[in-house]
Chain A
Amino acid sequence: MADAAHVDHVSPLGGRWQSFTTKARRIGDLSKTALKSPTTLAGAVIIVILIAMAILAPLLVEGNRPDPYQLPRDWSAINMPPGTPGHPLGTTSEGGDVLYGVVWGARTSLRLAFIVVGITLVVGTVIGSIAGFVGGKWDEVLMRVVDVFLAVPELILALAIAALLGPSFRNIIIAISILGWPRYARIIRGQIIHTKENEYVDAAHVIGDSKFRIYLKDILPNTITPVVVAATLQMGAVVLFAATLSFLGLAEAGIAEWGNLVGEGQAGIVSGRWWVATFGGLMVFLWSLGFNLFGDGVRDVLDPRTEGR
């Protein structure tokens, strides 16, 4: 088995020579196959639950005013253990309600994931397209830039960027987005270069299709599968990354975010206050696990040649 770049890769979702209904049916089949694996199904279930929690948050726990993304604080009830009336999961050292943090933290995470994946996908696609399509010097330069990004471990770069911008959750989003686009750029570029060599593209060229049309109808659809896989996995990874950064103290105090909860709860562990850190971190774990399991399953089905036995 040779490595992925040289394989005659035919995307299960195909290029232009498939009608829309065929494609739709294929997606349905693939999904069913994917969900046959118990681990993938488990992942999907977890994701659905968490996303539901995020969307239904205002119904589950009343939003804080004026800013629902701030933990409601009760200064007369600090460091309360779980089971305290009014605070089923306990409170932080500022009287912040942990249950609120858990539920609305899902919402924060969903927003974060969508925003970051959205931005990096678009930016990465654009840059990767330029590199792969235009090629030549542009390709060289852009790929060197990607290399520089990959030269230093992510977390360390993120720390440096956050130091520059100042501590706030918005800046965490910015920092992660800055670091996230190279992945997509690489994928898109790889697909473009590969697909360029594919037969039916030559055929299309022969019959006189413009380059851009080829791009839209042949290249881009073929990039969907690895991008979908990457995006799914990234939804999980991004939340984990953001949580790590807020845990380290790079977000504002008192926001309804899981990593922040863990960070605020850390100091109390030495004196036996386990609940803030435990529940906050548990949510991050579940989110990450869900997307990893599901993403692995999707990858197994869509991209069977890459890892995952």
Chain B
Amino acid sequence: MQVREYVVRRLLKLPLVLLAVTVAVFALSRVGGSPIAIYLEHEMSPDEVQALEERYGVDKPLPMQYVAWLGGVARGDLGWSGVSVAPVSEVLPARLVATIELATLGSFIAIALGIGLGTYAGARRNRFSDHVIRVLTVSGASLPLFWFALMMLILFYLIIPIAPLGRFDPDVYSQITHYTGFYTIDSLLNLNPSAFVDAIVHLALPAFVLGFEGMAVVARMMRSSLVEEMGEDYVDSARAKGLPERRVIRRHARRNALIPTITVIGLSWGVLLQGSVVVENVFRWPGLGRWATEGVIRGDRATIMAFVLVTAVVFLVVNLVVDVIYAYLDRRVVLGTD
């Protein structure tokens, strides 16, 4: 009952926050210069500029512009991207998909390696391997992502040339039909193993770099909660019963330790989202982050706005989902205590 209320409350708040975000984004786009700057050329006479302003409706009062813009967004019209020289709505899906593909594999790595390393370290508390892993995780948090990415690039592209740049080999990529836009999925749907390998091979290094920081965060949390769990009574009784240590950890302690870890996993999504901006820049990944940075550098309003909007929505939704999951788990945990 309580949980349902909580979920409903959160769901109700979401559209309000979203609306606030749209207002903020719109305000950002209108401050500081003409919003149709990308269409202007220096040879245009004032009349021609006027004609363009009328065509794009920027001569109307601001609230009307906001409504028109919002209506356009609802219909899928997000303006013209100067960076891509195309309507935003045409290029956004492809770039979003590329980022999602990268972030998914990255979070996969972060979770898998994070839980694995955290468990490993927690079980061997204060022994050498624990210290090593602790140093690794602290470094992970201090490591500038852009520098780590570049070092990995130098290592695996220059020194040991096995990593490629970009998302695909144009030859291989143009041979398959793109049903979903996800290179991995499409190559499987096409029953084309070399395309799949191409996809994975291009994903490998950027996803690892992206997931590294998340991995450090998850590992840290996993380790400390596991250590805490290991100190609980039931673990002693299990040991007394003669169960093998590994089983004790795997089956029981780890499960409980996972609970707080899940929250951290959800929080690390935000880290990943931001990280993708940097990682995409370094590995020349044609995703949202790189598209947006170029939009920022070139002053392309529509691109920036679309980026902020999309990221805010994704971030809010993910946070909501994590909180809901946690609320459910927490409730069960509460019930289970006595």
Q: Do chains A and B touch in the complex (CB under 8 A)?
A: yes
B248 → A minimal CB distance (Å):
20
With A247-B146, A289-B142 known to touch, is A153 a contact of B154 (CB < 8 Å)? Answer: no
Contact between A284 and B144, CB atoms less than 8 A apart:
yes
**In the complex, residue of chain B having the shortest beta-carbon distance to the beta carbon of A248:** B293
- The answer, yes or no, to whether B270 is at the interface (CB within 8 Å) is yes
**Chain A: number of interface residues, binned into ranges:** 35 or more
User: CA separation between A264 and B144, bound complex, in Å?
Assistant: 16
Hey, which chain A residues are within 8 Å of B274, CB to CB?
153-156
Contact between B145 and A160, CB atoms less than 8 A apart:
no
**In the complex, residue of chain A having the shortest beta-carbon distance to the beta carbon of B165:** A270
- The answer, yes or no, to whether B153 is at the interface (CB within 8 Å) is yes
Hey, which chain B residues are within 8 Å of A80, CB to CB?
none
Contact between B224 and A309, CB atoms less than 8 A apart:
yes
Q: By CB atoms of chain B within 10 A, which of A153, A243, A280, A296 has the most?
A: A153
Chain B contact surface mostly: helix
B126 → A minimal CB distance (Å):
10
- The answer, yes or no, to whether A272 is at the interface (CB within 8 Å) is yes
Among the 9-residue stretches A57-65, A100-108, A116-124, A162-170, the one with 4 or more Cβ atoms under 8 Å from chain B is A162-170
- The answer, yes or no, to whether A278 is at the interface (CB within 8 Å) is yes
With A247-B278, A266-B282 known to touch, is A148 a contact of B146 (CB < 8 Å)? Answer: no
**In the complex, residue of chain B having the shortest beta-carbon distance to the beta carbon of A243:** B144
Among the 9-residue stretches B36-44, B173-181, B306-314, the one with 4 or more Cβ atoms under 8 Å from chain A is B306-314
Hey, which chain B residues are within 8 Å of A153, CB to CB?
270, 273-274, 311, 315
Contact between A156 and B146, CB atoms less than 8 A apart:
no
Hey, which chain A residues are within 8 Å of B31, CB to CB?
164
With A248-B277, A269-B158, A285-B144 known to touch, is A162 a contact of B296 (CB < 8 Å)? Answer: yes
Contact of A272 among B25, B32, B158 (CB under 8 A): B158
B residues 251-285 touching A (CB-CB < 8 Å): 270, 273-274, 277-278, 281-282
- The answer, yes or no, to whether A249 is at the interface (CB within 8 Å) is yes
- The answer, yes or no, to whether B324 is at the interface (CB within 8 Å) is no
A190 → B minimal CB distance (Å):
19
With A156-B307, A285-B147 known to touch, is A39 a contact of B297 (CB < 8 Å)? Answer: no
Contact between B28 and A152, CB atoms less than 8 A apart:
no
B255 → A minimal CB distance (Å):
20
- The answer, yes or no, to whether A89 is at the interface (CB within 8 Å) is no
Hey, which chain A residues are within 8 Å of B147, CB to CB?
262, 277, 280-282, 284-285
User: CA separation between A302 and B158, bound complex, in Å?
Assistant: 46
B residues 146-171 touching A (CB-CB < 8 Å): 146-147, 150-151, 153-154, 157-158, 165
Hey, which chain B residues are within 8 Å of A152, CB to CB?
21, 308, 311-312, 315
**In the complex, residue of chain A having the shortest beta-carbon distance to the beta carbon of B313:** A152
- The answer, yes or no, to whether A244 is at the interface (CB within 8 Å) is yes
A136 → B minimal CB distance (Å):
21
Contact of A155 among B277, B299, B312 (CB under 8 A): B277
**In the complex, residue of chain A having the shortest beta-carbon distance to the beta carbon of B220:** A307
**In the complex, residue of chain B having the shortest beta-carbon distance to the beta carbon of A271:** B158
User: CA separation between A267 and B147, bound complex, in Å?
Assistant: 13
- The answer, yes or no, to whether A191 is at the interface (CB within 8 Å) is no
Contact of B297 among A156, A160, A165, A167 (CB under 8 A): A167
**In the complex, residue of chain A having the shortest beta-carbon distance to the beta carbon of B143:** A285
Hey, which chain B residues are within 8 Å of A285, CB to CB?
142-144, 147
User: CA separation between A246 and B94, bound complex, in Å?
Assistant: 27
Hey, which chain B residues are within 8 Å of A307, CB to CB?
224
- The answer, yes or no, to whether B190 is at the interface (CB within 8 Å) is no
User: CA separation between A148 and B21, bound complex, in Å?
Assistant: 8
A residues 137-176 touching B (CB-CB < 8 Å): 148, 151-157, 159-160, 162-165, 167
User: CA separation between A155 and B289, bound complex, in Å?
Assistant: 11
User: CA separation between A179 and B165, bound complex, in Å?
Assistant: 33
Mask of A84-121 contacts with B, CB within 8 angstroms, 1/0: 00000000000000000000000000000000000000
A47 → B minimal CB distance (Å):
12
User: CA separation between A159 and B228, bound complex, in Å?
Assistant: 39
Contact of A262 among B21, B146, B277 (CB under 8 A): B146
Hey, which chain A residues are within 8 Å of B312, CB to CB?
151-152, 156
**In the complex, residue of chain A having the shortest beta-carbon distance to the beta carbon of B27:** A164
User: CA separation between A289 and B295, bound complex, in Å?
Assistant: 32
* 24 pairs, A vs B, C-beta closer than 8 Å: A39-B138, A148-B21, A152-B21, A153-B270, A156-B307, A157-B308, A159-B296, A160-B25, A163-B304, A164-B28, A164-B31, A244-B144, A244-B278, A248-B277, A248-B293, A262-B147, A270-B157, A280-B147, A281-B147, A281-B151, A284-B144, A284-B147, A293-B142, A309-B224
- Residues of B that sit less than 8 Å from A by CB: 17, 20-21, 24-25, 28, 31-32, 138-139, 141-147, 150-151, 153-154, 157-158, 165, 224, 227-228, 270, 273-274, 277-278, 281-282, 292-293, 295-297, 299, 304, 307-308, 311-312, 315-316
Given contacts A148-B20, A285-B143, 9 further A-B contacts (CB under 8 A): A151-B315, A152-B21, A152-B311, A159-B277, A247-B146, A262-B146, A270-B165, A281-B150, A284-B147
Leading 6 A-B pairs by shortest Cβ distance: A281-B147, A155-B274, A289-B142, A288-B142, A163-B296, A292-B142
